[in-house]
Structure formats: C-alpha cells, structure tokens
Amino acid sequence: SLSGKTAIVTGSNSGIGLGVAWELARAGADVVLNSFTNSPEDYALAAQIAQETGVEARYIQADMSNGDDCRALIEKAGSCDILVNNAGIQHVAPIDEFPVDKWNAIIAINLNSAFHTTAAALPMMRKAGWGRIVNIASAHGLTASPYKAAYVSAKHGIVGMTKTVALETAQEPITCNAICPGYVLTPLVEAQIPDTMKEYNMSREDVIKNVMLERQPSKQFATVEQLGGTAVFLCSAAAEQITGTTISVDGGWTAL
Ligand code: NAD
C-alpha cells in the first residue's frame, strides 16, 4: 500500500492525470491534484477522491507553463514522495508554419515543467528516504509523426530527462521512469468521435479502428485506469530496480 505517501500529479483535473490520481488514491496514497484553473469543479474532484477512497486529497492551482509556479506547487504541497509529471498540450502544424507561441508553450508545459518539479521534489524525496518519479511521455517520445514537431521534441526530451534523473539517483531509494501511452480514451478524444463520424461518414467502430487507431495494432484505446495501474506498479516494491526506462502502454504501436 502507498499509505502515508504523498503523490503530486501535474495536470490532473481531467484525462490521464485524473485517472492516475484516482488509482494512486485507491492504492492508499494521499494525492495532490493540479491544473492552471481555479474553479469549484477542481476542488470538488479532490473532495470526491477523498470521500470515495479515504485518503487526503487536495487541489493546488499552478500553471505548469511557468517555472516558478511549478516549483511553488511542490513547495505548497509540503511533501512529495511520488511525482507524476503529466501536464501536457498538443498542437498540429507543419514546422515551417508552426506558431512560435505554440512551440514555446508545448516545450514549457510538456518538458520544462518536469525539470522544475523534479528539481523541487528531489530534496524532499532524499529527506524522506524514498521517491518515485513517473513521467507521462508518449509513443511520440519514441517515434514521430508529421506536423507534431513540438510535441515529439518535448516527449523525446522528457524520455532523455528520465534517463538522466535515473542515473543521478541510481544509488538512492529513488526511481525515475516514463510511461509511453499510445492513444488513450480521454474525454478529449471521446469528444472528437461524433465529428469524425460525420466527416468520414463512418460508424463509431470504423472511426475508432480505421482513423483514430490506425497506428495502434490492438485497435483498442488504452484507458486512464490502465495508465494509473502502470503508475501504481512503478511505485510498488516489484519495481524497485526499474529505473531510467520507458514502459509503453500502446497496444503495440512502437512494435511496428
Ligand atoms: P487532457 O487534456 O485531458 O489533460 C491534460 C491536463 O493538463 C489537464 O488536466 C489540463 O488541465 C492540464 N494542463 C494543461 N495546461 C496546463 C498548464 N499550463 N498548467 C497546469 N496544467 C495544465 O489530456 P490527456 O490526454 O489526459 O493528456 C495527459 C498527458 O498524457 C499529456 O502529457 C499528454 O501528452 C499525454 N498523452 C496523452 C495521450 C492520449 O491519447 N490522450 C497519449 C499519449 C500521451
């Protein structure tokens, strides 16, 4: 059980981050949810997790595009045994037309934030004598697709940072790994299905199999619960010697 551990999950008021927070809470960890917003719904999510799992759950607003905010999130949480760097955004455009502000935002949120949170969290982990860093990378941390230059660069970057942090902590009771999801059924993806059905005049099943999961051999989405379960595994005793590596949860995408 992860009882007594505090887990901070960046970008966790929806999608994978929220799913990971739920699974860590179900495994007994106290959790800190985060996003850049400050709405009643954000705090209600934390209250719901606390109520249903019995752990302590808090929401702390912090903008992961801002380095000082990233470090303040860790400081405000007060302790950090498990750090899940999950916050991320996407933008799709050819590189010669890629908006500079989008490039900068993607590198800041998807890559730089993990540098700042890791730097702030490591001293706490060392003091506690235990730590787990789980970076949510992507199949795009290992392979590329056209028109996703910023995202692919940031995700390859975080895989590199994962290996470096693992080496710097190799002789300590701290591990650092990356999870590389393929296509995951988040509310964001679900919302695209009806429009895509219309656009291609296809059934829901055909849109999922032939458009969305074209590159995912299993022809099934990964779920946020499966990603949460993978994060819980990386925090378990069985994973003590797993560090500096990637775990793909991609239905075979990167085997192609
Ligand atoms: P999502 O949009 O549902 O979640 C992104 C989260 O990041 C949200 O909670 C959002 O509030 C937060 N966020 C965005 N900008 C932020 C900022 N400036 N400061 C703080 N929080 C911010 O998307 P998701 O699919 O759950 O993505 C989560 C992570 O998983 C991302 O890093 C993404 O690249 C990665 N990923 C997703 C998929 C997929 O198919 N959905 C596949 C591979 C990797």
Of 43, 59, 147, 151, the catalytic one is 151
Number of domain units in the chain? 2
Q: Contact 61/38 with Cβ under 8 angstroms?
A: yes
Write the pLDDT tens digit of every residue in 177-231.
999 999 999 988 888 899 999 999 999 999 999 989 999 999 999 999 999 999 9
Share of the chain above pLDDT 70, in %: 100
pLDDT at 216: 95
76: nearest Cα among 180, 175, 169, 6: 6
| 113 belongs to a structural domain | yes
User: Which amino acids bring their CB within 6 angstroms of ligand 1?
Assistant: 11-17, 35-36, 63-65, 86-89, 109-110, 136, 138, 181, 183-184, 186, 188-189
Is 151 an annotated catalytic residue?
yes
Mutate to test the pocket of ligand 1, among 10, 13, 16, 190 (most ligand atoms within 8 A of CB): 16
Q: Which atom of ligand 1 is nearest to the CA of 66?
A: 18
Residues 68 and 177 in one domain: yes
Which residues make Cβ contacts (< 8 Å) with residue 210, sequence separation at least 6?
Answer: 202
- The b-or-e profile of 63-72 (16+ CB within 10 A means b, else e) is bbbbbebbbb
57: nearest Cα among 11, 6, 10, 17: 6
Q: Which atom of ligand 1 is nearest to the CA of 155?
A: 34
Q: Which atom of ligand 1 is nearest to the CA of 109?
A: 18
Residues 118 and 227 in one domain: yes
CB-CB neighbours of 203 under 10 Å: 11
Write the pLDDT tens digit of every residue in 56-72.
999 999 999 999 999 99
pLDDT at 198: 94
Q: What is the CATH number of the domain that holds 92?
A: 3.40.50.720
Residues 206 and 144 in one domain: no
Ligand 1: centre distance to CA 35 (Å): 10
| 104 belongs to a structural domain | yes
- Domain of residue 209 covers 185-220
pLDDT mean across residues, the chain = 97
Average pLDDT for residues 159-174, to the nearest whole number?
A: 99
Residues 19 and 49 in one domain: yes
| 59 belongs to a structural domain | yes
Left, alpha or beta for 223 (phi > 0: left; psi -120 to 50: alpha)? beta
Residues 35 and 48 in one domain: yes
